[in-house]
Amino acid sequence: MEFKQNKFDGSCKIYFSKDEIDSINKNKYLFLTDIFLRHFGNNLVKIVSDWNSVFRKEVKDLDTKSFKVEPKVFDGQTHSFTNYVREYDVLVDEDFKKFVNDFELERHRQNNNNFDADEKILKELKERVDKKIHKILIEHNCKLERCWIQKYSPNDYHGLHVHGNGNNYSFVWMIDCTEESSNTIFHNPGYPYIVLETLEVKPEVNKLLFFDGSIPHEVPPNKDSTRLIISGNCTKL
């Protein structure tokens, strides 16, 4: 399968090999192995980026409506991304909240956090978080790799980023917040080159968002001095 884009008008032709054509004629579909699909998906992001540079402005500005995919039912709300975002309720008691608040954080660009703290300092945090979310880790067949704390002041934010390339899970756990705390915004994989769907999740104490590390997400400028989260990465087993 080969994509060839017309560099003048942005259109594209897809060329199939003889074997691919024979398979389509015989079976009425083209079978893609999981390995092929993984590599194809990774390459597709770059391909689409290249396509986007050729499109006319009015084409670039078009909004693409998402095709809704019904998610499976899990213990916790599941959102309809190709790669999932799931919500869980994990209790934050006062003792644990005090424990988190007692950590010393440093100013790092967009917010206060201890992302770069020595692993020895983060060891107890990791151990206590691991116990709190152990059932979730078992459900997703993964182990907690590391976690850290982020505290937001007014106008603090966290720019668009991902936590991995699909080999890990990540989570955001809301420890404290108010009505003025910023939402967490998720975008479909491939964003900003592919714009299909955006999900804004309002912060609530105890809410834990568990998602594939490759999903782009961000936090817009915050409006209070309370927003406090634990974020972390989990290795898929």
Residues 170, 138: one domain?
Answer: yes
pLDDT of residue 151: 97
Residues 48, 82: one domain?
Answer: no
List pLDDT tens digits, range 97-125: 999 999 999 998 899 999 999 888 899 99
Number of Cβ atoms within 10 Å of the Cβ of 171: 26
Does residue 65 form part of some domain? no
Residues 38, 142: one domain?
Answer: no
Look up residue 206 and give its two tokens: 């105890």
pLDDT of residue 123: 95
- The list of the chain residues with pLDDT below 70 reads 3, 5-11, 39-40, 42-83
- Looking at residue 203, what DSSP letter applies? -
Residues 12, 88: one domain?
Answer: no
Domain containing 83 equals 78-236
Beta carbons within 8 Å of 41's beta carbon, 6+ residues apart: none
Q: Please state, in angstroms and rounded to a whole number, the distance separating the CA atoms of residues 168 and 162.
A: 11
Does residue 177 form part of some domain? yes
pLDDT of residue 194: 81
Residues 45, 131: one domain?
Answer: no
pLDDT of residue 26: 81
Distances (CA, A) of 216 to 139, 184, 199: 23, 11, 11
Number of Cβ atoms within 10 Å of the Cβ of 229: 28
- Choose one of 10, 32, 60: the last residue of a domain: 60
Number of domains forming the structure of the chain = 2
Residues 49, 112: one domain?
Answer: no
Does residue 70 form part of some domain? no
Does residue 155 form part of some domain? yes
List, edge to edge, every strand of the sheet that includes 184-187: 158-161, 217-219, 184-187, 198-201
Residues 52, 24: one domain?
Answer: yes
CATH number at residue 121: 2.60.120.620
Q: Please state, in angstroms and rounded to a whole number, the distance separating the CA atoms of residues 138 and 49.
A: 36
Does residue 198 form part of some domain? yes
**Pick from 222, 183, 178: nearest CA to 199:** 183
